[in-house]
Structure 1
Amino acid sequence: MDPTAPNARTFDVGSQDYARYRPRYPSALFAHLASLAPSRALAWDCGTGNGQAAVALAAHFDAVVATDVSAEQLQAAESHPRVRYQQVPAEQAQFTRHSVDLLTVAQAVHWFDLPRFYAAARQALAPRGVIAVFGYGFFEGDAAIAPVLRATLLDPIAPYWSAGNLVLQRGYRDLPFPFEPLVSPSFEIVAHWTLDDMLGYVGTWSALKRHHEAGHPDPREAARARLAPLWGEGAREVRMPLALRVGRVGPDAG
């Protein structure tokens, strides 16, 4: 991604909220991906954002390089002795040729210039190295909450999702992915959110930012009024199925 392009700065504003409200990926996902890697020496987490995937990978790899185009996101990232952060666009990251055992992209590949990124990935990945791209869309609510959520939040901002967001919302099924496919189990995020937590998460959506920039009022207060009696004062369990594509490069990677 060109660091001067509009999408490159989408998550600069509100990076602290992004770190606070974005849900955590299941630890089983990273254990599974690490089990596929040809070794556990080096992982690359590309588009790392607040670093949560990078820190999770550090439980399985000797070293993790975590890259992101946003300086603000990296300033809010979690520190870990085995994680090294770099501010660099995904397509321009530099590694020793064929040194990366596992490359992960969490909630970000739909922002990348894919041909250039995939070329960089092939240069970086070791023979039989693994690339995994994953993300989540809307959380699943119960039958009482779902229609109110749609009417108050999802429908008003629907025109402001980017084409990349729509690729994710379709589960990455039509994402170009020129790697040997690997079959993986299904994973989902399970979180326990208060209404404030949920609305804070919605506040990190790029479509909401564009909705605001177009001059519309924040729909979250109207949503709060209608959702509060349904949500209750405590935390509710929410589930987000993960979209996941996993592949392997051949022994003769370029």
Structure 2
Amino acid sequence: MSSSEKRFSKQADLYSKYRPDYPEELYSFIFEHLDEKKTAWDCATGSGQIAGYLANHFDQVFANDISEEQLSYAPQKSNITYLNTPAEHSGLPSNTFNLITIAQAVHWLNFDRFYDEVRRTARKNALLAVVGYGMVRVSKTVNPIIDELYEEAFRQYFNENRRYLDEHYKNIPFPFNEISAPDFEITYQWSLDHLEGYFNSWSAVQKMKSELDKNPVDKTIKHLQQKLGSQESLEVSFPVFMRLGKIAE
């Protein structure tokens, strides 16, 4: 197993249980710019959140990921085909897809190679949607505690990659005919246990646990318990952002 595969395989069950979904408004915005909804490819699908949604709207969906463990948690539907392949070398047929999506993953890829694969597999007038979400927000008193964990975990591991997310993908290369997209937000009512599960799904946290025999989440949760007292439910929100572009005229 390569280092890239290990990065996300270890916490595959946590990804499937605790990672946020994406708002309906985001999908609606994408769909209104599509010519047709026959075939879609969800790159680096992870546990298949977007692939499962797209399957309700497209005739055929393909989804790939380098982590076989992640794919084992993906939803099984008759019109979804999963492949255990890298996004830059998907093994998918050329000139096939009306929509190509990649969520919370493009910052791990070789941009040039991935975009070459996008151009190869896209049909005329196809769209590429590069989607991501930012740091979870709770309240003015809680956010600094979360930010401290984020800085501790990612400062040592994956610092270069995280800057793309911190800047909402505005700093990634995007050599396509861009369609200006609004910002989105998704809100949940989460327990502190659910928030803890989300923190533990971070790749940097898993790396710290493995290499340093230490989990920084434990300290954060104790701090949050002191701050929140008996409060059982938290309103948490995530800023969601997207680069949307027409791949070829």
Q: Scaled by the length of structure 2, what TM-score is found?
A: 0.93
Match in the other structure for 2:188: 191
| Equivalent residue for 2:243, pick from 242, 245, 250 | 245
Question: 1:224, 1:190 → 2: CA distance?
Answer: 20
**CA 155–123 in structure 1, closer or farther in 2 if over 3 Å, else same:** closer
The corresponding residue for 1:226 is: 223
| 3-state SS, counterpart of residue 36 of structure 1 | coil
Which of 85, 88, 103 is equivalent to 2:85?
Answer: 88
The amino acid across from 2:125 in the alignment is R
Q: String of CA shifts for 1:200-245, please: whole Å, max 9, x gaps.
A: 1010111112222331521222222221143344221111111210
> Counterparts of 2:154 and 2:46 in 1: how far apart (Å)?
24
Matched, 1:17 2:14: yes
The equivalent of 2:153 in structure 1 is 157
- Corresponding residue for 1:99? 96
Helix, strand or coil at the partner of 1:50: coil
Sequence identity (%): 32
The 10-residue stretch of structure 1 (24-33 or 238-247) with the greater mean CA deviation from structure 2: 24-33
Structure 1 CA distance for aligned equivalents of residues 111 and 154 of structure 2: 24
Contact kept in structure 2, 1:136 and 1:169, CA below 8 Å? no
Comparing 155-164 with 72-81, greater Cα deviation is found at 155-164
Q: 1:150, 1:40 → 2: CA distance?
A: 40
CA distance in 2, matches of 1:95, 1:219: 40
Do the aligned residues in 2 keep the contact of 1:27 with 1:56 (CA within 8 Å)? no
Aligned residue-pair number: 247
Please, which of 165, 168, 188 is the counterpart of residue 168 of structure 1? 165
Across the aligned residues of Structure 1 and Structure 2, the Cα RMSD in angstroms comes to: 1.6
The answer to whether the aligner puts 1:112 opposite 2:120 as a matched pair is no
| Partner residue in 1 for 2:234 | 236
Distance 1:148 1:167 in 2: 22
Question: Does the CA contact (< 8 Å) of 1:30 and 1:56 recur in 2?
Answer: no
SS for the counterpart of 1:40 is coil
Which AA in structure 1 matches 2:246?
Answer: R
Aligned pairs for 1:26-41 (under 5 A) are: 26-41=23-38
Spell out, residue by residue over 1:96-122, the C-alpha distance to the aligned partner (whole angstroms, 9 max, x if none): 321100000011111111111111100
- Does structure 1 conserve the Cα–Cα contact (< 8 Å) formed by 2:119 and 2:248? no
Give the counterpart letter for 2:44 in structure 1.
Answer: G
- Indicate the SS of the match to 1:11: helix
2:242 is aligned with what amino acid? L
After TM superposition, the score normalised by the length of structure 1 is 0.91
Q: Distance in 2 between matches of 1:113 and 1:11?
A: 17
Give deviations 1:14-58, integer Å, cap 9, x for gaps.
211110011111122122212222211001000000001111112
Pick the aligned partner of 1:136 from 128, 133, 136. Answer: 133
Show structure 1 runs of 5+ residues with no match: none
1:56 aligns with 2:22: no
Question: Tell me, which stretches of 5 or more residues in structure 2 are unaligned?
Answer: none
Instruction: Give, as a single letter, the amino acid of the residue that structure 2 aligns with 1:170.
Output: E
